[in-house]
A and B are shown apart, each in its own frame.
Chain A
């Protein structure tokens, strides 16, 4: 049984045991800090296990591009960080086009990314695309591609980050929702169902619940809980290495090494964050099924074994909150709006820099919590 008389002190308390919370704890511990992670449910219970596992620089919002590029380098070497390859398979990410309009949009986009000094996004023609992705529909006329992007296994990733944290001495308190946060001198006192924890620094990595925690810390940050849906099929003969999306259409498509195919990319069900529940929206799922057949005719008779949705936090402008709060030694890192998985490794590092050095080596100004101040 749980004892409610737990009490412990640390250098930093991380609120939220998802990938971002674990990565933050990991980087803080690597720099010698004593860290406590409090998690209201289980480590990785929500978006960190229910995501599609895409490791993608392609198509990122421009402010995210530098962070994503730095994270991509960390993914190449992920085993050095967490002693596990996290199931990472590097190949290509491609964004497909089957209309001239889509092609034009892709060309314009690639130019924008070159303009800010990054060269990873390339436009490829129909023949190159067909060589790369033989299963693609003949109607596709080209794509944007990023070499070295790919996918990893979300379960394996969260487990590896969690285990590595524990090895480094990070303490986890699961089933430990935050009831109150109080200031006690220069320290923060975090009262949870599992006891009271005290530390000078707090990092809010509470995902869809990040707004609630921010409010307890005096910051008014609105995050909307949504329920992105995913479909997984039964095992199919290997037919694709790349991860595919489609220009302007909510769609993400990949085949895992075990043969199952994952379809996702933006259709949402209904999220009930207060009771950890999601409802599927069958119209959205049916649209996924249509889109998958449009780009990959091979999928017509593929059998779906499971559909599900996770609870994820979305910011009004679609990019996360990363930075210091108004109160002393409070930092936020949440609202990744369904594309935080790839950035997990680097954002943990950024947060560790913010806590210890009070500044990040990467450009995070566009993510400032103050951007929503009226």
Chain B
């Protein structure tokens, strides 16, 4: 029988979750770390411990930095359960999951949610066609399966777009083009933040190096692109857009979309924690204090799930959340927590210095928030932007009511792919803020689970009770 009671349960083994678990174990807490992947690392350090030298060359030095964290985790006393799908986090700290078609449940006195970020949905005409995936998904294919997208056209904006482009280049599959949405105006607005960003000059240099590499490889770049659409009937055939006052059409059967990442709020929403809309990053994030404490005493949030900051910031916030959790269950006292936290908070501040510059430079274009009427928003139920506007005119004033009006957000993804867009459209239609409009309620299971897995749970719970 597996242990089911822990001091601290951590959900997610990316940089935030790994460092939270390691830090908590270091202070003598019993820790269970649950993660969907077979190996620790999260999306950013996916498969890092298994990377071949050839892959390492493609994926770059920053990626390998994750290896150290994975190593520390391996040497710690943390009970790392890999390959599990967490499908519910209860308000009482019970985390329910399935692994190998068996259900399991662990309970923490405190739970650290470190489930990271997810790519922002990019609803443009044709985005639901086969052959259109996100840049992040293309990267996952490279990291875990060694699959490389051929002749890809990358569309959108943000550092990941360049990173994936250079990785494709290094893998011998130069992208056919980069179609970028950021404009000169973005750059001008970002400039006031430049001096803040200079503190993190290494990041800036890295960004510049990507661009130089792409230029040298003669990958065509279009900036300030608008009216972007994917053409095709049953598969992507071409990307069309306007840039530099001209219409363009680039043939490709592989389109990689990206408009930055946003916090994955499925767990925090399902727990009904307080959330706030960030006007700069244009997304919701759970409300936390400097240590990651959420609006519910049992839950802390670490990493990109609390607000986008990147891998290094996530690792620091993981340690902070661990200190918070340890103090809240009495494993350390508040004094120790605060002394240890002070230095961490300072270094996080300095790591974050580049964010305002990046956030403004790569802010997604309005097109992403206000798609044309014809564009599908909810992929699961095929609800279009125009439908949502129609619902709004009929009195639908919140995402949850779009379910009543047209099943929007009711498919297997539970609004992961449409939630933010629905909020934006309703906010615009009603001239209200995104906070006022709100977001979809999230229900268990967080990920689809089979009936046989669910029924196995009653045996698990029963065994637990009789122990």
> Can you give 27 contacting A-B residue pairs, CB < 8 Å?
A155-B403, A158-B404, A159-B404, A233-B451, A234-B448, A280-B88, A280-B444, A282-B105, A282-B457, A282-B461, A286-B454, A286-B456, A289-B454, A290-B455, A292-B451, A300-B451, A300-B452, A301-B451, A302-B450, A302-B451, A303-B448, A303-B449, A303-B450, A304-B445, A306-B410, A307-B444, A308-B443
| A299 and B451 within 8 A (CB) | yes
Given the complex of chains A and B, what is the CA–CA distance between A302 and B453 in angstroms?
A: 10
Chain B 64-101 interface residues, beta-carbon cutoff 8 Å to A: 88, 90-91, 96
B215 at the interface (CB under 8 A from A): no
Given the complex of chains A and B, what is the CA–CA distance between A335 and B454 in angstroms?
A: 31
B414 at the interface (CB under 8 A from A): yes
| A282 and B88 within 8 A (CB) | yes
Question: In the complex, which residues of chain B have a beta carbon less than 8 angstroms from the beta carbon of A283?
Answer: 457-458, 461
| B454 and A304 within 8 A (CB) | yes
Question: In the complex, which residues of chain B have a beta carbon less than 8 angstroms from the beta carbon of A308?
Answer: 443
For residue B405, which residue of chain A has the nearest CB?
Answer: A159
| A286 and B457 within 8 A (CB) | yes
Partner of A286, one of B403, B404, B412, B458: B458
Q: Which B residues are closer than 8 A to A by beta carbons?
A: 88, 90-91, 96, 103, 105, 272, 401, 403-405, 407, 410-412, 414, 443-445, 448-452, 454-458, 461
| B451 and A304 within 8 A (CB) | yes
- For chain A, the bracket of interface size reads 20 to 34
| A293 and B455 within 8 A (CB) | yes
A328 at the interface (CB under 8 A from B): no
Given the complex of chains A and B, what is the CA–CA distance between A231 and B450 in angstroms?
A: 11
Main secondary structure of the interface of B (DSSP, over half): mixed
A125 at the interface (CB under 8 A from B): no
Given the complex of chains A and B, what is the CA–CA distance between A83 and B185 in angstroms?
A: 51
| A289 and B88 within 8 A (CB) | no
Given the complex of chains A and B, what is the CA–CA distance between A279 and B96 in angstroms?
A: 14
| B405 and A305 within 8 A (CB) | no
Partner of B450, one of A159, A280, A287, A300: A300
Min Cβ gap A373→B in Å is 39
A211 at the interface (CB under 8 A from B): no
A180 at the interface (CB under 8 A from B): no
| B412 and A303 within 8 A (CB) | yes
Given known pairs A159-B405, A282-B88, A307-B444, the reply for A301 and B414 (CB within 8 Å) is: no
Partner of A285, one of B407, B412, B454: B454
Given the complex of chains A and B, what is the CA–CA distance between A283 and B410 in angstroms?
A: 24
Given the complex of chains A and B, what is the CA–CA distance between A279 and B90 in angstroms?
A: 8
For residue B101, which residue of chain A has the nearest CB?
Answer: A301
| B458 and A290 within 8 A (CB) | yes
| A307 and B452 within 8 A (CB) | no
Partner of B452, one of A277, A279, A301: A301
For residue B92, which residue of chain A has the nearest CB?
Answer: A279
| Closest 5 pairs between A and B when the two form their complex, measured CB to CB | A286-B458, A289-B455, A289-B454, A303-B448, A290-B455
Given the complex of chains A and B, what is the CA–CA distance between A90 and B275 in angstroms?
A: 43
Given the complex of chains A and B, what is the CA–CA distance between A286 and B88 in angstroms?
A: 13
Given known pairs A282-B457, A289-B451, A308-B443, the reply for A155 and B412 (CB within 8 Å) is: no
| A305 and B411 within 8 A (CB) | yes
Q: A158-B404, A300-B450 are in contact. List 13 more A-B contacts (CB 8 A).
A: A42-B401, A234-B411, A282-B88, A282-B457, A283-B457, A283-B458, A283-B461, A286-B103, A289-B452, A300-B451, A301-B451, A303-B412, A305-B445
Given the complex of chains A and B, what is the CA–CA distance between A289 and B412 in angstroms?
A: 18
A255 at the interface (CB under 8 A from B): no
Question: In the complex, which residues of chain B have a beta carbon less than 8 angstroms from the beta carbon of A282?
Answer: 88, 96, 105, 457-458, 461
Given the complex of chains A and B, what is the CA–CA distance between A42 and B401 in angstroms?
A: 9
Which of B90, B405, B454 has most chain A Cβ within 10 Å? B454
Given the complex of chains A and B, what is the CA–CA distance between A287 and B458 in angstroms?
A: 7
For residue B461, which residue of chain A has the nearest CB?
Answer: A283
Min Cβ gap B51→A in Å is 32
Min Cβ gap B435→A in Å is 15
Main secondary structure of the interface of A (DSSP, over half): mixed
Given the complex of chains A and B, what is the CA–CA distance between A308 and B445 in angstroms?
A: 9
Question: In the complex, which residues of chain B have a beta carbon less than 8 angstroms from the beta carbon of A289?
Answer: 451-452, 454-455
A352 at the interface (CB under 8 A from B): no
Given known pairs A158-B404, A280-B88, A286-B458, the reply for A293 and B444 (CB within 8 Å) is: no
Question: In the complex, which residues of chain B have a beta carbon less than 8 angstroms from the beta carbon of A300?
Answer: 450-452
| B443 and A306 within 8 A (CB) | yes
Given the complex of chains A and B, what is the CA–CA distance between A286 and B451 in angstroms?
A: 8
Given the complex of chains A and B, what is the CA–CA distance between A75 and B163 in angstroms?
A: 59
| A306 and B450 within 8 A (CB) | no
A49 at the interface (CB under 8 A from B): yes
Min Cβ gap B370→A in Å is 25
Question: In the complex, which residues of chain B have a beta carbon less than 8 angstroms from the beta carbon of A159?
Answer: 404-405
| A305 and B412 within 8 A (CB) | yes
| B443 and A307 within 8 A (CB) | yes
Partner of B404, one of A49, A293, A303: A49
Question: In the complex, which residues of chain A have a beta carbon less than 8 angstroms from the beta carbon of B461?
Answer: 282-283, 286
Given the complex of chains A and B, what is the CA–CA distance between A155 and B451 in angstroms?
A: 25
Min Cβ gap A56→B in Å is 22
Which of A158, A231, A306 has most chain B Cβ within 10 Å? A306
Given the complex of chains A and B, what is the CA–CA distance between A279 and B89 in angstroms?
A: 11
Given the complex of chains A and B, what is the CA–CA distance between A347 and B254 in angstroms?
A: 57
Given the complex of chains A and B, what is the CA–CA distance between A280 and B92 in angstroms?
A: 12
A344 at the interface (CB under 8 A from B): no
Given the complex of chains A and B, what is the CA–CA distance between A233 and B452 in angstroms?
A: 13
Partner of A155, one of B88, B103, B404: B404
Chain A 264-322 interface residues, beta-carbon cutoff 8 Å to B: 277, 279-280, 282-283, 285-287, 289-290, 292-293, 299-308
For residue A277, which residue of chain B has the nearest CB?
Answer: B272
Question: In the complex, which residues of chain A have a beta carbon less than 8 angstroms from the beta carbon of B403?
Answer: 155
For residue A300, which residue of chain B has the nearest CB?
Answer: B452
Question: In the complex, which residues of chain B have a beta carbon less than 8 angstroms from the beta carbon of A158?
Answer: 404
Min Cβ gap B103→A in Å is 8
Given known pairs A277-B272, A286-B455, the reply for A306 and B404 (CB within 8 Å) is: no
A54 at the interface (CB under 8 A from B): no
For residue A294, which residue of chain B has the nearest CB?
Answer: B455
For residue A233, which residue of chain B has the nearest CB?
Answer: B451
A323 at the interface (CB under 8 A from B): no
Given the complex of chains A and B, what is the CA–CA distance between A234 and B88 in angstroms?
A: 18
For residue B458, which residue of chain A has the nearest CB?
Answer: A286
A44 at the interface (CB under 8 A from B): yes
Min Cβ gap A259→B in Å is 11
| B450 and A301 within 8 A (CB) | yes
Given the complex of chains A and B, what is the CA–CA distance between A340 and B138 in angstroms?
A: 50
Question: In the complex, which residues of chain B have a beta carbon less than 8 angstroms from the beta carbon of A234?
Answer: 411-412, 448
| A306 and B414 within 8 A (CB) | yes
